[in-house]
Amino acid sequence: MDLVPFVGEPLALDLVNTHPLTASGRVDLIANGEGLAAWLKLEQARFPDAAFDGIGATSAADVEPVLAVRAHMTSAIAHVMSGQPVPAADIEGLNVAMRAAPLVRHLDWSDPPRLVSERLAAPVIQLAGFLAEDAAALLAHPDAGLIRKCEAEDCVMLFVGNNARRRWCSAARCGNRVRVSRYYQRSKSS
């Protein structure tokens, strides 16, 4: 069975959610260039135009900067969710990723003239910087306090609980399974 990453939450949470729990244990959906490219395709509307084309050709070692950002964000979110301060090492890890791919602007004197922003680094380093910036923005936003874990027993997905009644990462993904299980348990005991 091919796992499809859970997307639709803030990008930083979607990144954390690329490491789901399955019946056989945790699975890393972006452990290599092919997996990362597939995830980028699902998220393509959220990235600057064609900014990360060609990432699918990278090796597993080349994906390491993105995995490091994910690890720092995973730890930071766990601390925020438990009401603890975010470790300085996670803050510094996100800052290092952003500094490794500085955002610079220049004037493009085409018709019409425009101000262009670009990151100066290799594509995977640019991606890690972009994701670290998104993670930092989420951690600094009041929504960070609304991050929750899906209440389905076998799910580890995270989401922003803007709606107080939302309990699952997805009504179709986990909510339906939980409701069916409850129905089965009730009908079994009747």
Range of the domain at 84: 11-189
Whether residue 3 is contained in a domain is answered as: no
Whether residue 2 is contained in a domain is answered as: no
In sequence order, which residues have a C-beta less than 8 Å from that of residue 165 and are 6 or more positions away? none
Chain segment 95-148, per-residue pLDDT in tens = 999 999 988 999 999 999 999 888 888 888 999 999 999 999 999 999 898 999
Where does residue 139 rank: exposed (0-12), middle (13-18), buried (19+ CB within 10 A)? buried
Whether residue 141 is contained in a domain is answered as: yes
Q: Which two tokens stand for residue 1?
A: 């069975």
**What is the pLDDT, as a whole number, of residue 15?**
96
* Strand, coil or helix: 141: coil
Sign of the alpha-carbon torsion through 30, 34, 38, 44: positive
Asked whether the bond before 5 is cis by omega within 30 degrees of 0, the reply is no
Whether residue 1 is contained in a domain is answered as: no
**What is the pLDDT, as a whole number, of residue 58?**
65
Model pTM greater than 0.75?
yes
Band of pLDDT at residue 179, cut at 50, 70 and 90: low
Q: How far apart are CA 169 and CA 8, in angstroms?
A: 10
- In degrees, rounded to 5, the angle at the alpha carbon of residue 142 between the alpha carbons of residues 36 and 88 is 65
Question: For the residues 152-178, what does the mean pLDDT come to?
Answer: 77
Tell me, what amino acid is at 22? T
Band of pLDDT at residue 1, cut at 50, 70 and 90: very low
Residue 79 belongs to domain with CATH number:
1.10.3300.10
Domain count, the chain: 1
Whether residue 4 is contained in a domain is answered as: no
Whether residue 6 is contained in a domain is answered as: no
Q: Which two tokens stand for residue 107?
A: 């004037």
DSSP state of 85: P
Q: How far apart are CA 135 and CA 73, in angstroms?
A: 7
Chain segment 65-96, per-residue pLDDT in tens = 999 999 999 999 999 999 999 999 999 999 99
Whether residue 63 is contained in a domain is answered as: yes
Q: How far apart are CA 119 and CA 182, in angstroms?
A: 50
**What is the pLDDT, as a whole number, of residue 152?**
81
Q: How far apart are CA 77 and CA 165, in angstroms?
A: 21
Q: Of the segments 36-50, 128-142, 162-176, which one has the largest average pLDDT value?
A: 128-142
**What is the pLDDT, as a whole number, of residue 188?**
72
Whether residue 30 is contained in a domain is answered as: yes
